[in-house]
Amino acid sequence: MIEVRNVIKYYGNVTALDDVSFTVNEGEIVGFLGPNGAGKSTMMNIITGYLSSTSGDVSVCGIDVLEYPDEAKKRIGFLPEQPPLYREMTVLEYLNFVYDLKKCTLDRKAHIAEILSVTKTADVKDRLIGNLSKGYRQRVGITEALVGNPPVMIFDEPTVGLDPKQIIEIRNLIRNLGKNHTVILSTHILTEVQSVCDRILIINEGRLIADEKTADISRAVGSNRTYSVKVSGPRRDVLRELRALPGVKGAEDTGDGDSDGAVFAVEADRGVDVRRPMFNMLASKGWPIMELTPRGMSLEEVFVMITDEDEKRRASRGVKKTGGDGKR
């Protein structure tokens, strides 16, 4: 459905994309995950034909984007990072304008009514775009992307700047669109791809460092649990006993705490649920747990883990890290 082969993009001497290749199959919802500046927007703008690559090929539905940009664009609905909405138009005027711009041939009234209903924007169709909340403006941007009913939808950071309720609504909407579209969305939020996507492409500094099923990444992340635990007991003794507990890979005194107790960061061995043994040990010492919170993994920790695993895999196959000496 979408083929990206060896795409390189330079902005002057900045390498925004460094030999990126991947495929997205029909019906998939794929998340493009990476920190700010990783190259997500650059990749999306290249797939949608709004930006040309320095080298490499991109095709959408078998159509080469560089060679036939107009044909490719007809098959893609795109929500850019900053959707170009005309503030002084009503939603309906705007959608009619986009309908003409895209030279859409579907029945105008029925089609626009349908996409308004899909994105739940029918109730604001006569309002000026400039007067809508950010959440509704984002919905209108998605409605615009749906004009012409393209099979591929591309959303660049669709939930940035929204409040938590709006974020949930937009994620639900994207999940629903995923039932009959191929979707790529970008985000710098790990939980966002976990909750919406079938597959995750992780990009860092212009390089694709992982291409995995979401379930596999979630398992890897979940199996390397860290907890924040507040214990009422003597700091040094608690730390020593936590470190000695089987199943604990490491424990640190965070220095935080209050009259209730001291806060420790505890990392469990992979695949071990350390909560029960920790509870039993602390209870036997008469040091009650006042709080226990899974810390999860930050995006940075996931990057470190994945790059580490990638290097180990390469090392075990005898592949040397390019530019390195193979040692770690």
Chain positions contacting ligand ADP, by CB under 6 A: 11, 14, 16, 34, 36-42
DSSP helix/strand/coil, 7 = strand
Nearest CA to 170 out of 189, 157, 179 is that of 157
CB nearer to ligand ADP: pick between 41 and 159: 41
41 binds Mg ion, rule: CB under 5 A: yes
In the bound state, the residue with its beta carbon closest to Mg ion is: 41
The nearer residue to Mg ion, 46 or 251, going by C-beta atoms, is 46
Report the C-alpha gap between 113 and 109 in whole angstroms: 6
From the list ligand ADP, Mg ion, none, partner contacted by residue 16 (C-beta under 5 to 8 A by kind): ligand ADP
Q: Which is nearer to Mg ion, 63 or 153 (CB)?
A: 153
Return the number of the residue (36 or 180) whose C-beta is nearest ligand ADP.
36
Q: State which of positions 77-116 bind Mg ion (CB under 5 A).
A: none
Closest to Mg ion by CB, 121 vs 159, is 159
Q: Is residue 42 involved in binding Mg ion (CB under 5 A)?
A: no
Shortest approach of Mg ion to residue 156 CB, angstroms?
6
> Residue holding tokens 């199959």?
25
- Residue 233 binding result from Mg ion, ligand ADP, none, given CB thresholds of 5 to 8 Å by partner type: none
**C-alpha span between 258 and 260 (Å, rounded):** 5
What is the per-residue DSSP string for 40-74?
HHHHHHHHTTSS--SEEEEEETTEETTT-HHHHHH
Q: Is the dihedral of CA 196, 197, 202, 205 positive or negative?
A: negative
The radius of gyration of the chain's CA atoms, rounded to the nearest angstrom, is 24
Judged by CB under 5 A, the chain residues 274 through 303 that form the site for Mg ion are none
Task: Please report how close the Cβ of residue 74 comes to ligand ADP at its closest, in angstroms.
Answer: 24
In 3-state terms, what secondary structure has residue 106? coil
In the chain, the amino acid numbered 195 is S
DSSP for residue 131: G
86 binds, among Mg ion, ligand ADP, none (CB under 5 to 8 A by kind): none
Helix (H) / strand (E) element for 221: namely: helix 214-222
Give me the half-sphere count of Cα atoms (radius 13 Å) on the Cβ side of residue 172: 9
Nearer residue to ligand ADP within complex by CB, 188 or 314 = 188
Q: How far is the CB of 211 from ligand ADP (least distance, A)?
A: 16
Residue 66: both structure tokens together: 């560089």
> Whose Cβ is closer to ligand ADP: residue 81's or residue 93's?
81
Helix axes 164-177, 134-146, angle to 10 degrees: 10
Backbone φ, ψ for residue 103 (5° rounding)? 50, 50
**Start-to-end C-alpha separation, the chain:** 39
Which residues are paired to 17 by β-bridges? 9
Q: Which does 38 bind (CB under 5 to 8 A by kind): Mg ion, ligand ADP, none?
A: ligand ADP
Question: Could you say which of Mg ion, ligand ADP, none residue 31 binds, taking C-beta under 5 to 8 angstroms by partner kind?
Answer: none
In this chain, which stretch among 38-46, 137-145, 211-219, 300-308 interacts with Mg ion, using CB under 5 A? 38-46
Closer Cβ to ligand ADP, 16 or 248, answer by number? 16
In the bound complex, what is the minimum distance in angstroms from residue 298's beta carbon to ligand ADP? 17
**204 lines the binding site for Mg ion (CB under 5 A):** no
Rule CB under 5 A: which residues touch Mg ion? 40-41
